[in-house]
Structure 1
Amino acid sequence: MRVTLTSIPVTDQEKAAAFYTGTLGMQIRHDVPAGGARWLTVVSPADPDGTEILLEPRGMDAAVTYYEHLYNNDIPATQLETDDLDAEFTRLSGLGVRFPMEPTDMDTVKVAVFDDTCGNLIQLAQPQ
């Protein structure tokens, strides 16, 4: 078994697509109408055949409540990895991305947490 897809429920798919592609630099893999929403996935350009992130509409009450609780308690919805956290922090900060947690050494990993503008905090990690 392997992970090929994970989802991040977002408050606005269009805004999420703009942030994840325009700001983070990911690429759209699939963008297909699905009822009143879209099957909208992004991938890392460093691994275009790798794990896809589904930018899923946060429609169900349980999902809304769960992700609001995560966000309001400063708990990241997921983690992305980088080879140079300080460079990504500088780049993303320069683009106006809000970081409630700046780069912090935590023994075997350095982490930061940013706001994806769509209702989620995302942890950015660099193994050390």
Structure 2
Amino acid sequence: MKIYVTSIFVDDQDKAEKFYTEVLGFKVKHNIPLGDNRWLTVVSNEDPGGTELLLEPSDHPAVSPFKDALVADGIAAHSFEVKDLDAEWKKLSDLGVEFATEPMDAGAVHMAVFDDTCGNLIQLIQMKDTTPS
């Protein structure tokens, strides 16, 4: 068994598609009209056959209070792994991405948290090399 799709609630699918593809560099895998919304998934260019991220509309009444509570408490909705956090932080900062938490040491990882402009905080992590020298 493996995870094939996971979702993140977004306030606006068009805005989310633009941010997740043009800013973060993911690519659209599925874009299927479903009434007023779409089955819109993106994947990593580094792993196009990997787990899909569904940019799911925040239409359900329970979603907004849930997302607002997570953001208010500084809790990230998702975590993405990067190879070089400092380089990714600089690249995204230069593109205007707002970070709630700048790169910091967090035990086994180096991490930062940014605002995805769609109502979510997203955590970036770089795994530390824990191999003994």
TM-score (norm: length of structure 1): 0.98
- Give the paired residue count: 128
- Equivalent residue for 1:105? 105
1:1-20 alignment to 2 at 5 Å? 1-20=1-20
Q: Are 2:92 and 1:92 aligned?
A: yes
- Equivalent residue for 1:40? 40
Secondary structure (helix, strand or coil) at the match of 2:8 reads: strand
- Cα distance in 2, alignment partners of residues 123 and 106 from structure 1: 12
- Equivalent residue for 1:50? 50
- Cα distance in 1, alignment partners of residues 6 and 30 from structure 2: 13
- Equivalent residue for 1:60? 60
Tell me the CA shift for residue 77 of structure 1: 0.3
Tell me the CA shift for residue 71 of structure 1: 1.1
- Cα distance in 2, alignment partners of residues 72 and 61 from structure 1: 18
- Equivalent residue for 2:119? 119
Secondary structure (helix, strand or coil) at the match of 2:20 reads: helix
* Letter in structure 2 aligned against 1:46: E
Tell me the CA shift for residue 65 of structure 1: 1.1
Tell me the CA shift for residue 72 of structure 1: 1.6
Secondary structure (helix, strand or coil) at the match of 1:100 reads: strand
- Equivalent residue for 2:79? 79
Provide structure 2 residue ranges, at least 5 long, that are not aligned to the other structure.
Answer: 129-133
Q: Are 2:36 and 1:31 aligned?
A: no
Q: Deviations over 1:94-127 (max 9, x none)?
A: 0000001000011210000000000000000000
* Letter in structure 2 aligned against 1:5: V
